[in-house]
Amino acid sequence: MSRARFLDAAKALDARLDAFVHPLSGPAGEHLATDVAYLGNPNAPTRLLVISGTHGVEGFAGSACQTRWLTEGITASDDLAVVIVHALNPYGFAWVRRVNEDNVDLNRNFIDFESSLPANLGYDELAGALVPDRWDEETQEATARVLLGYATEHGFPDLQAAVSKGQYNHPTGIFYGGTEAVWSRKTIRSISSSYLADVERLGVIDLHTGLGERGIGEAIAEEPDASERTRLEDWYAEFTVPTDGTSVSAVITGDILAALKRWLPNAETTAIALEFGTVDMVAASNALRGDAWLYAHADPLGPEALPIKAALSDAFAPGDEEWASSVWDRFVEIREQTTRGLLA
Ligand SMILES: [Zn+2]
C-alpha cells in the first residue's frame, strides 16, 4: 500500500522511476521492490538523496514523509535534483521487521567482508540472554536481570554498545551484520552508480525511527571529516556524531552513510541519519529481542507473533497522529536546512 501511494505520487510529478525488484515476496504474496524516483535535471551537479526503509519497519514513517513531500510538490531545478529511494529493505518493511530477509541489520552490513570481521565481545557474552530459547515472562525477567547486571558492572553506554553496535557471530541474534553484502546493499550500490556517480555536491537524509526521545528527530552524522563537519555546523542547528559521544546512537560498524561517502570519493557529501524517537531504549530493544526469538525459535505466522509484532510497531512505526505530525514537521525542517546548505 505504501509502495502504491509512493508510486502514484511520483508519477503525478512525472518523476523518472526505476524499480529494483526483490527476489522474495511479501506476506500477501505481493511483489517487493526498492523504488527510485528522480526529479529534476539528470545532470544536476547538486543532488539531495532521501532514503526510507533502511530498517524495514522503520519505513512506514520514512515512506509517509517521502510520499507527502511528493504530494505537496517537490521543486527540483536545473541546479538541484532530488533522488528518493523508497523502501531500501523492502522485505523487512513488508514483513514488519527491522532486519532483512537474512536477519541482517542492513545498517551494520556495509563493512569489508574480505577483512577480519569487527569483534563484539560484549555481545558474545550476552548473546544467550539477548535472544534466549524461550520468550515467556519468566525468561524475559531472568534475562532482563542478566542485562541489568552487565549495565551495573560496565555502565549503561557499554551495554548499549554491546547490544547495538553490530555483531557478526550470531546469525539469529539482533543487530547482526551478516557474512556478505546483502541484496539491499547491492541495490543501493547500484543506485549510487546509476544516479550519483557524477554528482558534485550531495546531501543525504536516511530516515530512521526507534531511538531517542519520542517525537524528537536527531540528525546523526557518521565519521565526518573536517570539511563535512564544517558543512554540518553551517547547515544544521543541531547534529550529533556517535564517535563524539553526543548521539543517542552507539558507535556502530558497517553503516550506510560512510559507505556512500567511500563510493563517491569525488563528491562533496554531507550525510545524516534522521532518527525519530518513539519508545524508550529498553522497550525498543525488547521488541527486537522478541522478534529475533520469534524467527529463531517459533513460527513468525503463529499466535506468538501478534504481541511481538504489536510491540515492534509501537517501537518503530507508531500509528498516532501527534507523533506522525512531529515527524513530518521535523522532516520538513531538516530537508529545508539541507537544501539551503546544498545551494549556498
Ligand atoms: Zn534505523
Give the domain CATH number at 106: 3.40.630.10
How remote is the CA of residue 58 from the centroid of ligand 1, in Å? 6
The dihedral through the CA atoms of 303, 306, 311, 313 has a sign that is positive
Does residue 62 lie within any of the structural domains?
Answer: yes
How remote is the CA of residue 154 from the centroid of ligand 1, in Å? 25
**Parent domain of 326:** 2-113+177-281+315-343
What pLDDT, on a 0 to 100 scale, did the predictor assign at position 76? 79
How many angstroms separate the CA atoms of 201 and 298, rounded?
A: 47
Asked if residues 170 and 127 have their Cβ atoms less than 8 Å apart, the reply is: yes
Nearest to 212 by CA among 277, 121, 273: 277
140-to-35, 148, 170 alpha-carbon distances in Å: 39, 12, 19
Q: Please state, as a whole number, how many other Cβ atoms lie within 10 Å of the Cβ of residue 169.
A: 14
339-to-19, 75, 343 alpha-carbon distances in Å: 26, 11, 6
Write down the mean pLDDT value for the chain: 97
The percent of residues in the chain predicted with pLDDT above 70, rounded, is 100
How far from chain centre, in Å, is Cα 245? Answer: 20
Q: Please state, as a whole number, how many other Cβ atoms lie within 10 Å of the Cβ of residue 246.
A: 14
pLDDT at 289 over 90: yes
How many angstroms separate the CA atoms of 170 and 289, rounded?
A: 13
pLDDT at 96 over 90: yes
How remote is the CA of residue 276 from the centroid of ligand 1, in Å? 9
How remote is the CA of residue 62 from the centroid of ligand 1, in Å? 10
Does residue 134 lie within any of the structural domains?
Answer: no
Mean pLDDT of 307-322: 96
Tally of domains within the chain: 1
What are the φ and ψ backbone dihedral angles of 24, each rounded to 5 degrees?
-105, 170
Residue 133: exposure state from Cβ atoms within 10 A (0-12, 13-18, ≥19):
exposed
Nearest to 100 by CA among 20, 210, 177: 177
pLDDT at 1 over 80: no
Does residue 170 lie within any of the structural domains?
Answer: no
Mean pLDDT of 211-235: 96
Does residue 226 lie within any of the structural domains?
Answer: yes
Nearest to 253 by CA among 111, 61, 77: 111
Q: Where are the beta strands (DSSP E) in the chain?
A: 16-25, 31-39, 46-51, 80-86, 201-214, 217-220, 268-277
How remote is the CA of residue 170 from the centroid of ligand 1, in Å? 20
- Cβ-based neighbours of 341, under 8 Å, separated by 6 or more: 203, 231, 234, 235, 236, 270
Cell of 228: 563535512
How remote is the CA of residue 219 from the centroid of ligand 1, in Å? 12
What pLDDT, on a 0 to 100 scale, did the predictor assign at position 215? 86
Question: Which has more confidence, 237 or 290?
Answer: 290
How remote is the CA of residue 107 from the centroid of ligand 1, in Å? 7
pLDDT tens, residue by residue, 71-91: 999 887 889 999 999 999 999
How remote is the CA of residue 98 from the centroid of ligand 1, in Å? 7
How remote is the CA of residue 314 from the centroid of ligand 1, in Å? 14
pLDDT tens, residue by residue, 224-258: 999 999 999 999 989 999 999 999 999 999 999 99
How many angstroms separate the CA atoms of 288 and 23, rounded?
A: 25
How remote is the CA of residue 77 from the centroid of ligand 1, in Å? 30
pLDDT at 208 over 90: yes
Does residue 150 lie within any of the structural domains?
Answer: no
Does residue 331 lie within any of the structural domains?
Answer: yes
Does residue 169 lie within any of the structural domains?
Answer: no
How remote is the CA of residue 56 from the centroid of ligand 1, in Å? 8
How remote is the CA of residue 270 from the centroid of ligand 1, in Å? 19
pLDDT tens, residue by residue, 324-339: 999 999 999 999 999 9
How remote is the CA of residue 78 from the centroid of ligand 1, in Å? 32
How remote is the CA of residue 25 from the centroid of ligand 1, in Å? 22
How remote is the CA of residue 287 from the centroid of ligand 1, in Å? 14
Does residue 273 lie within any of the structural domains?
Answer: yes
How many angstroms separate the CA atoms of 168 and 55, rounded?
A: 17
pLDDT at 299 over 90: yes
Instruction: Please report which confidence band the pLDDT of residue 110 belongs to, taking 50, 70 and 90 as the band edges.
Output: very high
How remote is the CA of residue 79 from the centroid of ligand 1, in Å? 30
Mean pLDDT of 32-41: 97
How remote is the CA of residue 304 from the centroid of ligand 1, in Å? 24
Asked if residues 235 and 270 have their Cβ atoms less than 8 Å apart, the reply is: yes
How remote is the CA of residue 108 from the centroid of ligand 1, in Å? 10
Structure pTM?
A: 0.97
